[in-house]
């Protein structure tokens, strides 16, 4: 339709069909409903840009927002933004004996599989699995200390990622926070006084791993072994998930950088009634929370109504089972975190030289990897990688797969400790593309 106006002709152009525009982008691999959303957004925006190019830009943004593999070249082994511990796990579309006792044919417990292996690993009487580390603490406090006191050192009232704080978790559990000692110095007498003066209102003493910070200087803290002399159960939240300080799954034993990290087996041996820890940190498995220790206390946790709300599904339990079996086989190389953590710097240096030689970009540089995930603050692990001038991180993320690196001192650092050897070719291709 046309209309005259000051000697000119105005042409009213009909917008393209949403369906036709969506169908023109089937090569993107996105399902049709998402392509329809991209087409509608492109038409609504208007502008001078070609409408199909604009629609493809929206479709590309949709695709980039989906979960997908990335190459971690940051040198942070347990990178929270990248899913913490990487692990390979695949399951066929089959049923499992999740809650079926195959011997009797009766209903079983989902805690009879992975949790039993975890208890064996920790040398605990029993164990239960929930959906993350914070849930483990929440459930223990709710099951054992609702309406009663839980004594915690002021120096251990930590805040973990996302702003979650121990006092707030405790409040939600229904337990009453009993602060003892000071920020930098807490003694056994402080705990004993809190327990003795509470009139049996203190249900437990909680020791919290400081995880992502350290207090140094004029300090004093109470060990699990010392706390075990109290007249209440001791719960040790070791957080990071080191199973055994001896690291029997590693041929060379525990690495130097692991010194001082609390472990589940040793904490229980020192007298903790329960330990709690995450499954996706030093344990090297999926996101989960583990509670292990005295059978009677684990049963109290399992019977609490929150246990059902916090329980994981069969995929998580199956993945935990596979990792636990690798530990029991003493096969650290089958656990990706420990494979990466134990790589020799000399081998990483060889890979870095190969990447620079093949791509013709960057230079080989010594680097320092870190455990990450709120574990072992200040700890560095010698490493090697490729250093580039300037900030190249946006360009590296734009590729497929995206490569995530870090910037320091005006340079981009790609640490090969956290790059799987099979991904070296992706790194080389990205370096070439930077020109």
pLDDT score recorded for residue 8:
46
Pairing mode of beta strands 411-415, 406-408: antiparallel
Q: What is the pLDDT of residue 142?
A: 97
Q: What are the residues facing 390 on neighbouring strands?
A: none
Task: Report yes or no on 106 lying in a domain.
Answer: no
Cβ count within 10 A of residue 44: 8
What's the mean pLDDT in 22-42? 95
Say if residue 119 is in the same domain as residue 189: yes
Residue 121 has pLDDT above 60, yes or no: yes
Q: Domain of residue 163: give its range.
A: 114-334
151 found inside a domain: yes
Cis previous bond, 192, omega within 30: no
In this prediction, residues 19-41 reach a mean pLDDT of 95
Residues 308-333, mean pLDDT to the nearest whole number: 96
Domain-embedded: residue 10: no
Per-residue pLDDT at 88:
86
Mean per-residue pLDDT, 111-117:
94
Q: What is the three-state SS of the chain?
A: CEEEECCEEEECCCCCCHHHHHHCCHHHCCCHHHHHHHHHHHHHHCCCCCHHHHHHHHHHHHHHHCCCCEEECCCEEECHHHCCCCCCCCCCCCCCCCCECCCCCCECCCCCCHHHHHHHHHCCCEEEEECCHHHHHHHHHHHHHCCCEEEEEHHHCCECHHHCEHHHHHHHHCCEEEEECCCCECCHHHHHHHHHCCCCCEEEEEEECCCCCCCCCCCECCCHHHHCCCCCCEEEEEECCCCCCCCCCCCCCCCHHHCCCCCHHHHHHCCCCEEEEECCCCCCCCCCEEEEECHHHHHHHHHCHHHHHHCCCHHHHHHHHHHHHHHHCCCHHHCHHHHHHCCCHHHHHHHHHHHHHHHCCCEEEEEEEEEECCECCCCCEEEEEEEEECCCHHHHHCCCCEEECEEECCEEEEEHHHCCHHHHHHHHHHHHHCC
251 and 176 in a common domain: yes
pLDDT > 90: percent of the chain? 80
- In a shared domain, residues 345 and 323: no
Q: Rounded distance, CA 258 to CA 269, Å?
A: 19
Cβ count near 294 (within 10 Å): 16
What is the CB neighbour count within 10 angstroms for residue 393? 19
Residues 79 and 185 in one domain: no
Q: What is the pLDDT, as a whole number, of residue 1?
A: 41
Q: What is the mean predicted confidence (pLDDT) over 381-397?
A: 97
**pLDDT band (50, 70, 90) for residue 4:** very low
Is residue 141 domain-shared with residue 233, that is, in the same domain?
yes
Query: Are 283 and 147 in a shared domain?
Result: yes
**What pLDDT is attached to residue 224?**
96
- pLDDT for the residue 216: 82
Instruction: Find out whether 320 and 285 touch, Cβ atoms under 8 Å.
Output: yes
Give me the mean pLDDT over the 217-234 stretch. 93
pLDDT tens per residue across span 390-423:
999 999 999 999 999 999 999 999 999 999 999 9
> Is 91 among the domain residues?
no
Please check the confidence at residue 161 and state whether its pLDDT lies above 70.
Answer: no
Which whole number is the average pLDDT over 333-345? 96
pLDDT, one tens digit per residue, over 60-88 is 999 999 999 999 999 999 999 999 999 98
**Would you place residue 11 in the very low, low, confident or very high pLDDT band (cuts 50, 70, 90)?**
very low
**Rounded Cα–Cα distance for residues 300 and 294 (Å):** 10
Please list, residue by residue across 90-125, b when 16 or more beta carbons sit within 10 angstroms of its beta carbon and e when fewer do: eeeeeeeeeebeeeeeeebebbebbbebbbebbebb
347 plus 398 within the same structural domain: yes
Reply yes or no on whether the pLDDT at 3 is more than 80. Answer: no
When pLDDT is cut at 50, 70 and 90, the band that residue 165 belongs to is confident
Name the CA radius of gyration of the chain, rounded. Answer: 27
Report if residue 8 sits inside a domain: no
Residue 162's pLDDT is what?
A: 62
Q: What angle do CA 205, 206, 212 make, to 5 degrees?
A: 155
CATH code for the domain in which residue 315 is found: 3.40.640.10
- In CATH, what number is assigned to the domain containing residue 352? 3.90.1150.180
* 402, 420 Cβ separation under 8 angstroms: no
Assess whether 352 and 329 both reside in one domain.
no
List, in sequence order, every residue forming a beta bridge with 204; answer none if it has no partner: 150
pLDDT at 10 over 70: no
Q: Which two tokens stand for residue 309?
A: 């709300």
At 170, is the pLDDT very low, low, confident or very high (cuts 50, 70, 90)?
confident
- Asked whether residue 32 is domain-assigned, the answer is yes
Which residues have a Cβ under 8 Å from the Cβ of 110 and sit 6 or more positions away?
Answer: 98, 99, 311, 314, 317
Looking at residue 217, its pLDDT comes to: 83
Q: Mean per-residue pLDDT for 268-279?
A: 97
How many structural domains comprise the chain? 3
pLDDT surpasses 80 at 118: yes
Structural domain contains residue 41: yes
Mean of the per-residue pLDDT values for the chain? Answer: 92
Strand partners, 292: 127, 275
Shared domain for 285 and 387, answered yes or no, is: no
Is 311 domain-assigned?
yes
Residues 375, 258 contacting (CB under 8 angstroms): no
pLDDT for 9: 46
pLDDT at 115 over 60: yes
Q: Are residues 358 and 297 part of one domain?
A: no
Do residues 324 and 404 share a domain? no
> Both 282 and 161 in a single domain?
yes
Identify the pLDDT of residue 7. 45
């Amino acid at each position: 339709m046309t209309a005259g106006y000051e000697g000119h002709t105005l042409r009213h152009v009909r917008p393209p069909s949403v369906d036709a525009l969506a169908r023109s982008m089937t090569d993107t691999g996105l399902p049709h409903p998402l392509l329809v959303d991209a087409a509608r957004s492109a038409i609504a925006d208007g502008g001078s840009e070609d409408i199909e190019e604009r629609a493809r830009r929206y479709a590309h943004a949709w695709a980039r927002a989906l979960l997908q593999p990335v190459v971690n070249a940051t040198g942070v082994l347990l990178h929270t933004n990248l899913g913490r511990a990487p692990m390979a796990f695949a399951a066929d579309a089959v049923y499992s004996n999740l809650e079926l006792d195959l011997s009797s044919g009766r209903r079983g417990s989902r805690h009879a599989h992975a949790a039993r292996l975890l208890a064996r690993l920790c040398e605990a009487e029993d164990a239960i699995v929930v959906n993350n580390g914070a849930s483990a603490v929440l459930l223990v406090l709710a099951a054992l200390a609702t309406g009663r006191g839980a004594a915690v050192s002021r120096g251990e009232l930590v805040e973990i990622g996302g702003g979650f704080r121990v006092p707030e978790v405790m409040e939600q559990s229904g337990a009453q926070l009993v602060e003892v000692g000071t920020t930098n110095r807490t003694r056994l007498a402080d705990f004993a006084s809190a327990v003795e003066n509470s009139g049996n209102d203190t249900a437990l003493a909680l020791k919290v791993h400081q995880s992502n910070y350290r207090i140094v200087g004029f300090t004093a803290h109470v060990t699990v072994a010392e706390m075990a002399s109290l007249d209440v159960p001791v719960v040790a939240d070791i957080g990071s998930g080191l199973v055994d300080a001896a690291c029997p799954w590693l041929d060379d034993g525990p690495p130097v950088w692991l010194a001082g990290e609390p472990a589940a087996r040793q904490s229980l041996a020192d007298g903790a009634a329960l330990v709690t820890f995450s499954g996706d940190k030093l344990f090297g498995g999926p996101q989960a929370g583990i509670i292990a220790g005295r059978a009677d206390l684990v049963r109290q946790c399992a019977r609490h109504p929150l246990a059902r709300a916090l329980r994981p599904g069969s995929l998580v339990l199956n993945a935990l089972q596979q990792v636990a079996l690798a530990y029991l086989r003493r096969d650290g190389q089958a656990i990706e975190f420990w494979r990466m953590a134990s790589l020799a710097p000399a081998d990483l240096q060889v890979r870095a030289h190969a990447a620079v030689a093949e791509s013709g970009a960057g230079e080989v540089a010594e680097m320092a990897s870190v455990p990450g995930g709120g574990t072992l603050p200040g700890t560095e692990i010698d490493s090697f990688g490729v250093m580039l001038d300037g900030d190249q991180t946006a360009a590296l993320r734009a590729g497929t797969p995206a490569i995530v690196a870090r910037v320091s001192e005006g340079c981009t650092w790609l640490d090969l400790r956290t790059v799987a050897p099979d991904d070296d070719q992706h790194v080389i291709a990205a370096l070439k593309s930077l020109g």
